[in-house]
Amino acid sequence: MNERKLPYKNEEESLTNHDSDFPLTRRSVLRSAGAVGFSGMFLATMSEPSEAHETPDHLMETPPMGWNSWNTFACDIDEDLIKETADAMVESGMKEAGYEYINIDDCWMASERDEDGNLQSDPETFPNGIEGVAEYVHEKGLKLGIYSSAGTETCQGLPASLGHEEQDAESFAKWGVDYLKYDNCNNQGVDPQTRYKRMWDALDATGRDIVKSQCSWGSYDEWTWAGDLGANLWRTTGDITDSWSKIMDILDQQVGLAEYAEPGHWNDPDMLEVGNAGLSARESRSHFSLWCILAAPLLTGNDLRELDEETRDILTNEEVLAIDQDPAGIQGSKRKDTGDYEVWAKPLANGDIAVCLLNRSNTSGTIAIDVDEFDLENAAAYILRDVWKMKEVATANTIRAFVPAHGVALYRIRPGTPSEAPPATTLAIENGDKIASRGDTESVKTILTNDGRIAIQNVELSFDAPEGWHANANTSPNRTVPPSKSIETTWTIDVPEDAEVGDHEFAVTATYTAGGTSTGVSSTDVLSVPPAPPVDDTYLSNHEWLEATIGWGEIGLDESVEANTLTIGGKTYEKGIGTHAESEISYYLNGNVSRFIADVGIDDEVDNDEASVRFRVVGDGETLTETNVAGNDMNPISIDVDISGIEVLTLVVTDGGNGINYDHADWAIAEVRN
Ligand code: GLA
């Protein structure tokens, strides 16, 4: 924490006085009183003269869409990058899809203000100034965003705006800036309402439309007051990273915030990681779907100059974007939660409802919820429009989908009639144990369910096995599945002796006729051929894992997550695994070994008291042992657990309750023994 003094005298005192005058009422209450009335009320209680006017109504009527430099480039930015990104935004079709803001994050400024105290851009990286970049961006029909902090310095230690609000706001307006992301670093302990309000008033006083983006990380229940003070959007959490566990962590922190969003004022769960290396295409699609359900700002954080087709298709999907940009501006909320499976829903302006079925788990599964859980007009059938697949089906009531691991199904739902679309069917695959050992015969069950209003006839099922594999089932041809019924089929699959280690995808398809039309449904899943299991005493750091996830960084073998010698409470270890919460590392043991031995704890490379985790040993899905919360400077906790007969051993590290920051977790020794 920066200990520097406030740049102006007695500021803290006078600011506190303002604050005690300020009515911190929730916006939902104020809304009914009318925004204009509120602004009058506020000005009347402020002792400072201010010509502040409110954010014009047309600003941020829907959540902002654009790009920000931070997630991919951090401080490695310059004028060329910004201009090339603007070019790419136009050429890739992103602009046409609605993306508009090109936002420069931290590190654009020179290390000193000029002799008149004005902020200035780094002369090396931005030789034509922000003005030059703004002109270029505007010529492309786009808008320019910039960054500062409501502190004495930015998070990267560069000059920032606390105590310079008017002067900096004037510079931004003069340069042609359209959006300010205003961070929270080095804030000198000045209360946030005062700091942010000052800048928003200063921006208003310039007379230029500048979007006000408050980046105070959800530290102060911003949702209850930031909109009243003028912010168009406010961060609700710490920083995002490109990992599935971080995206789920941020999602969890959005529960309960929906009521605070409205046109002009948005919760901001942080910028997008869509298309970045730490996420699979499926995870990117889920992340994007969820952010759209949340009516979140859509600021992409990838390199638009190298936009691949898959990522572009995600970011520019019109129907998904329409959910985010829906004019009613209602943020979606969680409607069902069974642990691994969640359902989120967002009411839309035309009476439709967007519903997202999310599978957080590492294996595929079937998720269902009834339409009558939502506020839709009664109808003979409901049309489920899959906005990713752009296909419609008619359901009597159940919304059901077979959703792959870390995947979503995203529907737009409206009342309709049974004849408008083919009946809603689901082809679920249940292969509980997805391990397929070489030479074994595995069995997979499929369940075809008809949730429509009419029967499906002439049902034929087929199994598309991985190349060189064989699958069989005793299915009878020409079957009929009446509404609300399903048929189960068990398939046996011979795994070849020489099958390659790794995931093998297979597909199951049902074709049928419904109301005279031929149609069908198809699902895919994977069978994993595991690496050879250990036969003797084995250090797991010497053994190939089945799968592994980590919340930050890379898993260390015989070293910590930051590649140091494994050290817990002063004790060093030659063998073991260094990871970071949230983490799951699985090994295929085939019941060959009987004990798992480890010393676990936070690695001494963390030198503050922020770390806290739990270690859990899981055998074939059941918890075998779990530690209490482990923190910094604690002695190692010894684990010695019976794993006889266990096929898959999973080493799990979960957050200890205060977020995953600094959670460097060591499984020292980590040996399986006979
Ligand atoms: C903070 C913000 C990030 C980014 C960096 C820049 O961490 O939350 O979004 O702007 O600062 O230093």
Q: What is the pLDDT of residues 578-597, one digit of tens each?
A: 999 999 999 999 999 999 99
Q: Best mutation site among 2, 68, 77, 105 for ligand 1, i.e. most ligand atoms within 8 A of its Cβ?
A: 105
The per-residue pLDDT for 477 is 83
Residue 5: pLDDT over 70:
no
Burial class (CB in 10 A: 0-12, 13-18, 19+), 444: buried
Tell me the pLDDT tens digit for each residue of 510-540. 999 999 899 999 999 999 999 999 999 999 9
- Within a 10 A sphere around the Cβ of 535, how many other Cβ atoms? 10
Measure 42 CA to ligand 1 centroid, in angstroms.
30
Q: Best mutation site among 108, 239, 246 for ligand 1, i.e. most ligand atoms within 8 A of its Cβ?
A: 239
The per-residue pLDDT for 433 is 64
Question: Comparing 362 with 129, which gets the higher pLDDT?
Answer: 129
Measure 240 CA to ligand 1 centroid, in angstroms.
10
Residue 270: pLDDT over 90:
yes
| Cis peptide, bond prior to residue 165, ω within 30 of zero | no
Residue 22: pLDDT over 90:
no
Residue 10: pLDDT over 60:
no
Which region holds residue 44: left if phi is over 0, alpha if psi is between -120 and 50, else beta?
A: alpha
Residue nearest atom 12 in ligand 1 by C-alpha distance: 155
Catalytic sites, residue numbers: 183, 239
Residue nearest atom 11 in ligand 1 by C-alpha distance: 155
Residue nearest atom 1 in ligand 1 by C-alpha distance: 155
Measure 574 CA to ligand 1 centroid, in angstroms.
37
The per-residue pLDDT for 573 is 98
Over residues 66-95, the mean pLDDT reads: 98
Measure 629 CA to ligand 1 centroid, in angstroms.
29
Residue 32: pLDDT over 70:
no
Tell me the C-alpha distance between 469 and 329, whole Å: 50
Tell me the pLDDT tens digit for each residue of 409-432. 999 999 999 999 999 999 999 976
* Strand order across the beta sheet in which 333-337 lies: 333-337, 341-347, 353-359, 408-416, 381-386, 391-395
- Measured from the Cα of 105, ligand 1's closest atom is 10
Residue 68: pLDDT over 70:
yes
- Of the candidates 245, 223, 276, the residue with the CA atom closest to the CA atom of residue 27: 223
- Measured from the Cα of 154, ligand 1's closest atom is 12
The per-residue pLDDT for 57 is 56
Mean predicted lDDT score pLDDT of the chain: 91
Tokens representing residue 316 in the block: 């520019």
- Measured from the Cα of 238, ligand 1's closest atom is 8
Name the least confident of 50-59, 120-129, 375-384, 543-552.
Answer: 50-59
Q: Best mutation site among 215, 216, 246, 661 for ligand 1, i.e. most ligand atoms within 8 A of its Cβ?
A: 215
Measure 175 CA to ligand 1 centroid, in angstroms.
22
Residue 1: pLDDT over 70:
no
- Measured from the Cα of 155, ligand 1's closest atom is 12
Residue 457: pLDDT over 70:
yes
- Measured from the Cα of 181, ligand 1's closest atom is 10
Tell me the pLDDT tens digit for each residue of 370-414. 999 999 999 999 999 999 999 999 999 999 999 999 999 999 999
Over residues 291-298, the mean pLDDT reads: 98
Q: How confident is the model at residue 341 (pLDDT cuts 50, 70, 90)?
A: very high
As for ligand 1, residues whose beta carbon falls within 6 Å of it are 70, 105-106, 154-156, 183, 215, 217, 239
Residue 658: pLDDT over 90:
no
Measure 406 CA to ligand 1 centroid, in angstroms.
27
The per-residue pLDDT for 432 is 61
The per-residue pLDDT for 562 is 97
The per-residue pLDDT for 362 is 87
The beta-strand segments (E) located in 451-582 are 456-464, 470-473, 479-481, 486-494, 502-514, 517-529, 538-539, 547-549, 556-557, 566-568, 571-573, 576-580
Measure 301 CA to ligand 1 centroid, in angstroms.
12
Q: How confident is the model at residue 465 (pLDDT cuts 50, 70, 90)?
A: very high
Over residues 588-617, the mean pLDDT reads: 96
- Measured from the Cα of 74, ligand 1's closest atom is 6
Residue 163: pLDDT over 90:
yes
